[in-house]
Amino acid sequence: ELEVSRSLALAFVALIAVLPEYAVDFVFAWNAASDPAQAHYATANMTGSNRLLIGFGWAVVALLFWNRRRRQPLLLDPRQKLEMTFLLLATGWAFTIFFRTLVIDGPGGAAGSLNIVDSIVLVALFVAYMAMSSRGKAAEEHEVVVGPMAAIAALPRPKRRLALLLMFIVPAVVIFSVAEPFAESLVATGKDVGVDEFFLVQWVAPLASEAPEIGIAFYFAIRGMGAMAMGVLISSKVNQWTMLVGTLPIVYSVSLGALGQLPMDTRQVDEFLITAAQSLFAVLLIVAMRMYWPGAVALLLLFIIQFFFTGETGRLVFSSIYLGLAFLIMAASRARRQAAWNMLAWAAKGFRAPGPAPVPGEA
């Protein structure tokens, strides 16, 4: 934060934190060009990581903070209206991917796809988000830092920047070097022990790769730093819901040697729908920049219960539940409606300052 704004710093940290997801997904998307059977693994890992981040990460952070702060709701940093706005926009586009499948293939269509148009829109959203994040001010040199941070902050600026750069590059190299053997061994393990490989890729791989950032967020929440905890996870969600999804068709096309569409079968399309529906419900829960324990409990329970209903009907039912709850909380809360409208209006105006206005009842 001595070099860039807090929003941009969190965005960079979140980008490194979700690199395991990028690496594993890129392996599957790359291999799908020569082995179409691997295409569904790419979307499995992507949908699993997104749902895990919200259904488990956001929910438990809010509950830990609620317990730590004597039953107080978790109040988000007002600066995170930027992330919330981009999550609303990305979630809106995600629904177009599902409806495009219905229009092209008709009800019950056997396939859908992620294409280059999705890449352009979602990557553009991510680039705009990073550009907006960089507009904030860096921390002052005299601000108090302790521990390893103090040692780095005390370095001359050129050496400090080099140290920061290396702390991003080294983890990235390590993560990408182990991604392919990890992805291949996960699928092979599923075949050997008779476990559904789709399930392993969708839930076990994200659980392993998301553990560090979720663990850090839990630590912040236990310390009573709820806004910081949610900040890390919300920034990660923006990364995964824009850049990660948007780059999959690009990786697939590069491997294919031509412009192509990453195919999705019926199950993958359903998984994408439930992921978009969960995202909409979760974003609307905290759109007024606060999260209460009932919302956190709802996210966690729905996330857990879904494992007992894995068929097509179950996926559609859970999608409907998420969408129904999203409608109910918007209908019941004027503050949420006003906050969502302010964010969308801010985006429509090109994100010109001062940003979304506060709403009644907002901290």
Report pLDDT digits (tens) over 188-202.
Answer: 887 787 777 788 888
Which residue has better confidence, 210 or 32?
32
- Other beta carbons within 10 angstroms of residue 222's beta carbon come to 15
CA 293 vs CA 24, 74, 338: distances in Å: 33, 9, 21
Q: Is 308 exposed, middle or buried (0-12, 13-18, 19+ CB in 10 A)?
A: exposed
pLDDT value of residue 136: 60
pTM for the structure as a whole: 0.84
**CATH number for region 6-348:** 1.20.1420.30
Report the SS3 class of residue 292. coil
What six digits make up the tokens of 301?
């329970």
**Per-residue pLDDT reduced to its tens digit, 314-349:** 999 999 999 999 999 999 999 999 999 999 998 888
Nearest to 240 by CA among 10, 23, 43, 46: 46
Q: Is 225 left (phi over 0), alpha (psi -120 to 50) or beta?
A: beta
Whether the ω angle into residue 171 lies within 30 degrees of 0, i.e. cis, is: no
Give the pLDDT confidence score for residue 79 in this predicted structure.
83
Q: At what angle do helices 293-305 and 266-285 cross, to 10 degrees?
A: 170
202, with CB counted inside 10 A (0-12, 13-18, 19+), is: buried
pLDDT single digits (tens) 112-132: 789 999 999 999 999 998 888
DSSP type of residue 202: I
Element (H, E) at 111: strand 111-114
The pLDDT confidence band at residue 363, using thresholds 50, 70 and 90, is: very low
The yes-or-no verdict on residue 140 having pLDDT over 80 is no
Long-range contact set of residues 149-157: C-beta below 8 Å, sequence gap at least 24? 153/2
Q: Are 271 and 322 in contact (CB under 8 A)?
A: no
User: Tokens 């001359």 belong to which residue?
Assistant: 156
% of the chain surpassing 90 pLDDT: 35
| DSSP per-residue letters across 238-279 | HHIIIIIHHHHHHHHHHHHTS---EEEEHHHHHHHHHHHHHH
Report the SS3 class of residue 112: strand
